[in-house]
Amino acid sequence: MTDQLQITDSHCHLDFPDFDGERDAIIARAHAAGVTRMITICTKLRNEPAVRAIAEAHDSVFYTFGIHPMSVAETPLITQDQLTAIAAHPKCVGIGETGLDYHYTADSAAQQQESLRIHIAAARQTGLPLIIHARAADDDMARILTEEFHAGPYTCVMHCFSSGAELARAALDLGFYLSMSGIATFPKSQDLRDIFADAPLDRILVETDSPYLAPKPFRGKRNEPAYSIHTAETGAEIFGLSLKDFAAATQANFDRLFTKAAQYRAAA
């Protein structure tokens, strides 16, 4: 056991050009802030080698692979076999991000839904958790996740959750997790904080989605994994816990969901 605060940034994008030339320093700052692990998310097939290389170069960094819903119309649909082959890498610990985004790309809704179901099948086959992006598509998202779960169970986290209470309840009823981002720290996000407050503590993760969505007091600036702590401070307030206890709870939740990462850590 350690008295030092420890937390995991369960979703960031370390390969993005925003971090070029600074990755080692950014990862070092995360460690200094108590961030013991980071998951860097790959959203396009052509980016997978670079994302994988970042994870391979840093003991504390893992990665996931999937096709972002806003990108599904750009290339042929990914196959289940492609997903499972990449997921065999020791540091690939999840499937996604995938999902539905009708805010910017509603014209590709049918392709997004097909892609989502392929990713779910890969998550089911590999036993790795699914990472879901959902925007302006709550009804279809709840329907597809539920239909597919009834066809065969799988695990899942609703990344950067900022949707409505009904989708939150549908996800929680399936045993899924909600991930808290910097959005939860914004003054006008009380409705979102209320959704998290109604969720079980053992289903909450913390993320940055960096370089986006920096929490207070860095809102409007480039986000980075070290800032996970500021989102966790809001989470601790929501659940009436100390920062250390809330961080420890989210660490345990991460280990329960991302079992491949937890086992890798234990074996290291």
Domain limits, the chain: 7-267
For domain 7-267, give the CATH superfamily.
Metal-dependent hydrolases (3.20.20.140)
Angle subtended at Cα 228 by Cα 226 and Cα 230, rounded to the nearest 5 degrees: 105
What is the per-residue pLDDT across 207-256, written as a single tens digit (0 to 9) for each? 999 999 999 999 999 999 999 999 999 999 999 999 999 999 999 999 99
* Number of Cβ within a 10 Å radius of residue 156: 24
What is the per-residue pLDDT across 109-165, written as a single tens digit (0 to 9) for each? 999 999 999 999 999 999 999 999 999 999 999 999 999 999 999 999 999 999 999
The encoded tokens of residue 168 equal 């939150």
Inter-CA distances, 213 with 109, 171, 181, 227, 231, Å: 25, 23, 7, 10, 11
Which pTM does this prediction carry? 0.96
How far apart CA 231 and CA 224 sit, in angstroms, is 12
